[in-house]
Amino acid sequence: MEPIPVNYTDFLHWLKDQTENYWSQDPRTSLNEDKCPQWIHGAKWTGMTDEQIDLVQERYAIIFTPEHREFLRILHTIDRKAKVFEDYDSEEGPYYECSFFRNWLEDDEDIKPRLNNVYDAISEDIKRNKFWLNSWGMRPETAEERMEIFNELYATAPKLVPVCGHRYQVADMSLEKRPVLSILGADIVYYGSDFRYYLLQEISDHLNIYHRVYDEEDQAWCWTVNDEYKDCFEYYDKTRLPDMPF
């Protein structure tokens, strides 16, 4: 297995080659221990042109960070919908379809509500459940006063640009590293300190870099990342997270 490139553009091309090679191997006949799901067999990435990216920014009144834009140019999404099965350990039974990564050329019905989803969800929590952070100061008694303060804070906070599902990038160009967050209402999880670490986290299952080992304690087989890639991932440590003004 080749090492992961340091240069970001080279890394995206490595990601493209690595995933498409993995998806090209028919899971019904492949000798690989780690087999790709049948639904994604043969999938290809479909990048965007610079003109398409510019039109999307204009349409949704957003600005992609340079690293997000480069991702859209080289990768963007794949040429089919993802199948998400209710039983994550099986490809049988009920499932729903969604974009593998957000398709900025087709997913208008999903994109529009995502743009305001974080604001709407937290606003509802503030009004109905009196959600409040200590860093916002004393919590007013009335919902109207709470929303007035929150609106002022939100207006000056870094913009959030949707990436995939409920993942958002903090699109603040003044930051040296612009993290990607997983956001469901007021439940916010740090998903990567930059786009590179985020992508490794998001699609690690499609890189063919795992092998099975037997866990003696649990008496079961489990997947573990190959030794040569163990230092390539960013492991969550809440004591070392940067202070984000949001």
Answer whether residue 144 is part of any domain: no
Answer whether residue 116 is part of any domain: no
> Taking the CA atoms of the chain, what radius of gyration do you get in angstroms?
20
185: left (phi over 0), alpha (psi -120 to 50) or beta: left
Domain that holds residue 207: 8-106+158-240
For a pLDDT cut of 90, what percent of the chain falls above it? 59
pLDDT tens readout for residues 146-187: 999 999 999 998 899 999 999 999 999 988 889 999 999 888
- Assess contact for 244 and 179: CB atoms under 8 A: yes
More confident residue, 19 or 93: 19
- State the pLDDT confidence band at 224, using cuts at 50, 70 and 90: confident
pLDDT tens readout for residues 46-75: 999 999 999 999 999 999 999 999 999 999
Answer whether residue 245 is part of any domain: no
pLDDT tens readout for residues 96-152: 888 999 999 999 999 999 999 999 999 999 999 999 999 899 999 999 999 999 999
Alpha carbon distance, N-terminus to C-terminus of the chain: 40
Answer whether residue 236 is part of any domain: yes
- pLDDT score for 232: 76
- pLDDT score for 234: 75
Contacts of residues 216-223 at CB distance under 8 Å and 24 or more positions apart, as own/partner, are: 223/34
Answer whether residue 132 is part of any domain: no
Answer whether residue 117 is part of any domain: no
- pLDDT score for 1: 53
Residue closest to 22 by CA, chosen among 205, 201, 212, 225: 205
Residue with tokens 């208008």: 108
Buried b vs exposed e over 196-215: b needs ≥16 C-beta within 10 Å? bbbbbbbbeebbbbbeeeee
What is the full DSSP assignment across 96-148? EEEESS--TTT-HHHHHHHHHHHHHHHHHHHHHH----GGG-SPPSSHHHHHH
Q: What gap in Å lies between CA 42 and CA 34, rounded to an integer? A: 16
- pLDDT score for 80: 94
- pLDDT score for 246: 59
Answer whether residue 228 is part of any domain: yes
> What domain count does the chain have?
1
- pLDDT score for 17: 96
Six-digit token pair at 195? 């786009």
- pLDDT score for 143: 94
Residue 2 clears pLDDT 70, i.e. is over it: no
Task: Note the residue count of the chain.
Answer: 246
Answer whether residue 131 is part of any domain: no
Mean per-residue pLDDT, 20-40:
90
